Structure 1
Amino acid sequence: MSTISQSDLKLSQQRVGKLVADDFRAAHVFSQFDIDFCCGGGRSLASACNKSAADLAEVEAALVAIDTSGPKEDTLNQLAIDKLIDYIEDTHHTYVREKAPLLLEYSQKMVRAHGENHPEIKPFAGLVQALIADLVPHLMKEEKILFPAIRAMAAGETVDACFGHIGNPINAMEHEHDEAIQMFEKLHELTNHFQPPEHACTTWRVCYATLAEFEADLKQHIHLENNILFPKALAQSA
């Protein structure tokens, strides 16, 4: 997926709808600045910013900053435990917290606009809500309980925790990972694998595309924990 470049001809004059069509992640930027990319998709970026009282330079900078690059897996595998945890929190936990509110917003807009005529949308939105409701406290449990214990153990400090062996909270987190993946399996069934129908509006299309991206990030997130971080932690405890 190509990023939006400053070399694009007069970014400020491009239509908001075209920017979203070229890269759906632009919709996330527009949502953050309260810019209507659906019904107002025909406006130029400059006009849309003016209408929403958003700073054009800030919006342009956010669009140009869209990027999916990151370190290669072999680099991550070589990180010390504390640095790996930093990466997981800064990259994947931050991603969940940034995109979860957008998924809720998009799915609820779909319910309001199409829920009565498309019976699959309400259960879809409910499942999105349930997924987010499970993931947010999951992150907190990792950040407040498990990760500090792993950091302390890696530093050779005594871990005074109520959960006993470090394998106990690791097993609990892995179980919650499995539950999240099962929810995505149900979402695939409801959405024809995130393929919007031909009549779908822009919000509908952006919601499905965001959810597909969210799933890809979550699977990488879970992989780093289940297959790299947790085995390292268990090896430290042996």
Structure 2
Amino acid sequence: MSVTEQTEVSLSEQRVGQLVADDFRYAHVFSQFGIDFCCGGGRTLAAACDKAGIALSEVETALSKINSEGQKDDALNQLPLGELIDYIEANHHAYVREKAPLLMEYSQKMVRAHGERHAEIKPFAGWVRALIDDLTPHLMKEEKILFPAIRAMAAGETVEGCFGHIGNPINAMQHEHDDAGHMFEKLHELTNHFQPPEHACTTWRVCYATLAEFEADLMQHIHLENNILFPKALAL
């Protein structure tokens, strides 16, 4: 959708997932304001702002600055499905596998050093483990089952598998995306939105910062799948 078309249809009434699909730079603004544009991509901007507890006018001002910067980068949206999958695997799947062990290490160090004195540490570490334990098989299911099927469909080949319609594994992956979003809601509650207390040690601070970065990457990761890859696969 062009900037002119966005002006004709109020930003507040457009769905955040589609806004990001039209211009990936919007993702950075939404991340800064804590707006869920992946699992919550079906919400209008007004509804997403209301859920995040922020002023719609602040977000619209930030988005208007994006529009004034000129040509948008929609390269990922234009990639053939096979190349988009390559990008997701090489960047986002690889990122999860790189950072997940670090998050486990940092959170366990926090338990050993501070778990007995700070009640939030052990539940925090438990949710980090639950998140990683869910994401690890999730990546494998995409790489071994869903992505090969989408590649075959895009190439006009016969899809082999026991899952029936391609919508079935897509629905399963979207459900698991929602689960990850719920886990991050718990982590936000336990960490004051990843803001370490004044007494936090270096590991504590690094862990929160890494987790915030991890969430931002995962939101972009899920957005590419939920709002671009999966709809295009279903349309084949």
Structure 2 distance, partners of 1:113, 1:106, is 11
Task: Give the letter for the 1:215 counterpart.
Answer: E
Structure 2 distance, partners of 1:207, 1:229, is 31
Q: Which residue of 2 aligns with 1:213?
A: 213
Structure 1 length-normalised TM: 0.69
Q: Which residue of 2 aligns with 1:93?
A: 93
CA distance 1:73–1:164, change in 2 (3 Å)? farther
Q: Which residue of 1 aligns with 2:142?
A: 142
Q: Which residue of 1 aligns with 2:3?
A: none
Runs in 1 of length 4+ with deviation above 2 angstroms? none
Structure 1 distance, partners of 2:141, 2:82, is 17
- SS at 2:179 equivalent: helix
Q: Which residue of 2 aligns with 1:203?
A: 203
Compute the displacement of 1:161 (Å). Answer: 1.1
Q: Which residue of 1 aligns with 2:175?
A: 175
Task: Give the letter for the 1:213 counterpart.
Answer: E
Q: Which residue of 2 aligns with 1:235?
A: 235
Give CA deviations for 1:102-138 in whole Å, capped at 9, x if unaligned.
Answer: 0000000000000000010000000000000000000
Structure 1 position 190 matched with structure 2 position 206: no
Give CA deviations for 1:139-193 in whole Å, capped at 9, x if unaligned.
Answer: 0000000000000010000012100000000000000000000000000000000
Q: Which residue of 1 aligns with 2:17?
A: none
| CA RMSD across the alignment | 0.8
Structure 1 position 130 matched with structure 2 position 130: yes
Structure 2 distance, partners of 1:75, 1:167, is 26
Structure 2 distance, partners of 1:208, 1:223, is 22
Q: Which residue of 2 aligns with 1:63?
A: none
Task: Give the letter for the 1:85 counterpart.
Answer: I
Compute the displacement of 1:73 (Å). Answer: 5.2
Structure 2 length-normalised TM: 0.69
Q: Which residue of 1 aligns with 2:163?
A: 163
Task: Give the letter for the 1:143 counterpart.
Answer: E
Give CA deviations for 1:10-62 in whole Å, capped at 9, x if unaligned.
Answer: xxxxxxxxxxxxxxxxxxxxxxxxxxxxxxxxxxxxxxxxxxxxxxxxxxxxx
Larger gyration radius, structure 1 or structure 2: 1
CA distance 1:73–1:127, change in 2 (3 Å)? farther
- SS at 2:74 equivalent: helix
Structure 2 counterparts to residues 51-130 of structure 1, below 5 A:
74-130=74-130
Compute the displacement of 1:209 (Å). Answer: 0.3
Q: Which residue of 1 aligns with 2:153?
A: 153
- SS at 1:164 equivalent: coil
Task: Give the letter for the 1:75 counterpart.
Answer: A
Structure 1 distance, partners of 2:225, 2:73, is 12
Q: Extract unaligned runs of 5+ from structure 1.
A: 1-71
The structure where helix makes up a greater share of residues is 2
Q: Extract unaligned runs of 5+ from structure 2.
A: 1-71
Equivalent residue pairs, number: 165
Task: Give the letter for the 1:194 counterpart.
Answer: F
